[in-house]
Amino acid sequence: MQIVDFDKSCLEKAKRLVFENYDEERKMVPVLPGDAGFPPLDVLAENGLGVAAVEDGKLLGFLSAYGPFQPAFYTQDLRGVFSPVHAHAVQKEERIRIWHRLYQAAAEKWVKAGASSHAIALYAHDSEAQTAMYQYGFGMRCMDLIRDLSPVAAPEISGIAVREAHSLEVRLLRVALADHLAQSPAFMLDDEEDLQRWLDRKENSDDRVFAAYKNGKPIAYMEVCANGETFANYAPSMANICGAYCMPEERGAGVAQAVLNQMIRALHDEGYQQLGVDCESFNPTAAAFWRKYFTPYTHSVVRRIDENAFKKPQNHK
């Protein structure tokens, strides 16, 4: 096995290998769309951050990434790279060994580019890829999940109105979501300027909002958009939840389920077939809710290397 640069000569073989890995996950999660669009790999073959494993003219696997970008994960001085599920693929045979060789070579490039945060989205049912990355210091941070558009089981509740809402109506709930994410164990803290920019962007987007009201005030919301975090999200048959929050005192009564069902009914009537969502795995409230009604199909793992790696090597005698 040789490790070489991932360049344009690898593109066609890489694309076939990406779809082979996606089909593996579809066998485990059949609701994944078969009409998923495929993003171009050209930029990944040109940015100098990718590597490929080859043997006797066969592509055994490749690992590439977008970036470096800053800030990474809410940390202003943190520089990172991200490899989504279409930016890597590895054959079934000797998968752990190939992943190890690929990451060792790719990580060297990523560190030379100044990236100390390395994030890779893996398929949720690819246990060998996850084992390989866990052995190399990665931990889980995010997940993508999916379901069909059948209603979820929900209790009957009274005194609650659920409808499609204007984005401005849920501003206080968005602020409460930001406060929630800033707490342990997520520790995803925005400063005031970043929070304001996020609120402005949300309130001026085309995302649709569904909300539950009690005594005329919104107590829970979910918003949905056309695209998401993986190439599967870009299938025309799929919509994606891109924000949600329920007031703590209203949880457990079926309010969130009622909002979800209202969204599902609307999307079903419009011809959608799947609904996706992404969340942080270390947000226990969200992860518990989404896992109850959706099936995970990716686990994103992250490693932050020791920043001493960026220091000039010393000569030791």
- The series of mean pLDDT values per 10 residues for the chain, 317 residues long, is 96 96 97 88 96 97 96 85 97 98 98 96 98 97 97 92 95 96 92 91 93 97 89 92 96 96 97 96 96 97 91 60
Q: What is the pLDDT of residue 151?
A: 96
Q: How far from 145 is each of 13, 183, 190, CA to CA, in Å?
A: 28, 23, 25
Rounded Cα distance between 220 and 174, Å, is: 10
Distance CA(268)–CA(65), nearest Å, equals: 35
Name the token pair of 182: 């800033």
DSSP H or E run through 148? strand 139-148
CA 179 to chain centre: 21
Q: Exposure string (b/e) for 261-280, b if CB count within 10 Å is 16 or more?
A: bbbbebbeeeebbbbbbbbb
Bond into 68 cis (ω within 30): yes
Q: What is the pLDDT of residue 310?
A: 85
Nearest to 96 by CA among 138, 136, 42: 136
Q: Cα–chain-centroid distance for residue 240?
A: 11
Question: Residue 119's pLDDT is what?
Answer: 98
Supply the pLDDT for residue 315: 57
Residue 228 DSSP label: -
H or E, element range at 20: helix 11-28
For 265, residues 6+ apart whose C-beta sits below 8 A from its C-beta are 151
120 contacts 298 by C-beta, under 8 angstroms: no
Contact status, residue 281 vs residue 140, Cβ threshold 8 Å: yes
* DSSP letter (8 states) at residue 66: E
Would you state the pLDDT for residue 314? 54
pLDDT value of position 311: 78
Residue-wise DSSP of 200-226 = HHHHTS--EEEEEEETTEEEEEEEEES
Tokens of 211: 């909300």
Closest residue by Cα to residue 298 from 21, 14, 13: 21
CA–CA dist 258, 284 (Å, integer):
20
Query: What pLDDT does residue 308 have?
Result: 85
Burial class (CB in 10 A: 0-12, 13-18, 19+), 242: buried
Contacts of 314 (CB under 8 A, 6+ apart): none
Tell me what pLDDT residue 77 has. Answer: 85
Token pair for residue 5?
Answer: 């640069």
The span from the CA of 317 to the CA of 262, in Å, is: 70
